[in-house]
Amino acid sequence: MLFIGICGASGSGKTTLADELVRDMGVESVVLNQDTYYFDHPDLTFEERTHLNYDEPGIFDHDLLYHDVCELLAGRPITRKAYDFSQHARCDTQEIVYPAPVLIVEGIHCFYDPRLREKMFLKLYINVEPDICLLRRISRDIKDRGRQIDNIADQYLSTVKPMYDRWIRNYIHDADVVVMKGGKDTRIVPILAGYLQSTLRGE
């Protein structure tokens, strides 16, 4: 099994790159989104949950993600994790995820845990201008996550940008490959897909 990590700022195109790689490789793959591994906070009210910093490393259950990755790498199935962004709450499913030849984990802090980094065959970092990421984030959060523009702006200024400056931008130094044009880079995707296909064939 090839284990690939995709890191980058919020809105940089990590999920898109993962999907494009899976499509171009034409190989059965498992994609895990780090966003579904947020810690749950059932003891907090909805209002209190809205004020948590969802962009700091400690907001994620790194141990659970590491456990699931290890299970898949060992050939054992896991259950699919899920998260309700409109309610800021976990909503895990009973869907069984079976191991596949390719495993991709994508997220803003997927390079944070050294245990996870050490297991990655290939580490990709998407380097996109912050203003472009912000525009993409606004579009995504309104369309897919039921957010309001005021809430998005407040969150960006209070947590997203500061955490990007402190943490996420520095993950570029952990990468094997830096992708410069986002998830739909028409040149790098087929190059990476071809490399991974040849590796799977043992060439």
CA gap 156, 147 in Å, rounded? 12
- How many CB atoms are located within 10 Å of the residue 146 CB? 12
pLDDT of residue 131: 67
Burial status of residue 15 (CB atoms within 10 A of its CB: 0-12, 13-18, 19 or more): middle
Tokens 């494009």 belong to residue: 20
One pLDDT digit (tens) per residue for the chain, 203 residues:
999 999 999 888 899 999 999 999 999 999 999 999 999 999 999 999 989 999 999 999 999 999 999 999 999 999 999 999 889 999 999 999 999 999 999 999 999 999 999 999 999 999 987 766 666 667 777 767 666 777 766 777 778 888 888 999 999 999 999 998 776 777 899 999 999 999 999 87
pTM, whole model, 2 decimals? Answer: 0.89
Point out which residues pair with 178 in neighbouring strands.
Answer: 125
Residue 11, pLDDT score? 84
Spell out a b/e string for 39-76, using b for 16 or more CB atoms within 10 Å of the CB, else e. Answer: eeeeeeeeeebeeeebbbeebbbbeebbebbeebeeee
Q: Which domains does the chain have, with CATH numbers?
A: 2-198 (3.40.50.300)
